[in-house]
Structure 1
Amino acid sequence: MNIIEKTDEELLQIVLPMWDDLIKYSNKGNYGKFIRNFSYDLLLGLNEVELGNQFAKSELTRSLSTDYDFLGFIRRGEHVTCLFRVRSTKRAGEWLGRMVVGYERGEVKIFAASVF
């Protein structure tokens, strides 16, 4: 099955817990649990030194609020991009959160994730 064929409701049941985990483990700086749902290709492309620095030094990635707004889905090819309005517990303003999901070996995995 192609993930873009899922309804919004079906997708939300899958992606919201994944997004919650990304926020939780980013705030805790727990790299091992942060990447546990990443696709194999994403893991291969990660610069672990840079990601480690981000966890250690980025105030934003260590203070993401669990109070976020889901904005919508963009379906393309074999992936769905999930968009979120994200806030920080320490910095004023709003950021755009993005998580791209798709199937890898029969499981839904994260193919990209960012806050900007």
Structure 2
Amino acid sequence: MNINDLSDQQIIEIAHPMWDDLIQYSNKGQYGKFIRKFSYELLLGLNEVELGKQFKHSTLSRNLSEERDFLGLIRRGEHVTALYRVRSTEREGEWLGRMVLGYEKGEVRIFAASIF
């Protein structure tokens, strides 16, 4: 199955709760829950030491506002990217949040996630 066969609304209904979970678990520093929807491919490529450091030391990744502005979807191949405007509860300014979704073994999984 290709996620791009779904309508925008269907993808949004999947993406928003997944994004909200990422923010919640990032703020709480719950690494195991943060990665639970990651694709196998993404998990293989993670540098767990660096990710652990980010969770421990990053003011941004531990203080993200749960409020988000959905900016849109970008479709490419067998993946779709959901884009969000993100703010911090501790730092001034705005960041771009990106989450790439696709199917893996019949389930929608996260193939990439970042805030920049």
Q: Specify the TM-score bucket, using the shorter chain as the normaliser.
A: over 0.9
Match of 2:46 in 1: 46
1:56 maps to 2:59: no
Q: Deviations 1:20-68 (Å, cap 9, x if unpaired)?
A: 0000000000000000000000000000000000000000000000111
SS at match of 1:67: strand
TM-score w.r.t. structure 1 length? 0.99
Shift of 1:5: 1.5
| Residue segments in structure 2 that go unaligned for 5+ positions in a row | none
Match of 2:35 in 1: 35
SS at match of 1:65: strand
Q: Number of paired residues?
A: 116
Match of 1:90 in 2: 90
Which amino acid is the alignment partner of residue 75 of structure 2? R
Q: Distance in 2 between matches of 1:73 and 1:6?
A: 12
Q: Distance in 2 between matches of 1:59 and 1:9?
A: 33
TM-score w.r.t. structure 2 length? 0.99
| Ranges of 4+ aligned residues in structure 1 off by more than 4 Å | none
Q: Distance in 2 between matches of 1:77 and 1:12?
A: 18
Q: Distance in 1 between matches of 2:68 and 2:91?
A: 14
Q: Distance in 1 between matches of 2:65 and 2:7?
A: 27
Query: Taking every aligned residue pair, what percent have the same amino acid on both sides?
Result: 72
| Residue segments in structure 1 that go unaligned for 5+ positions in a row | none
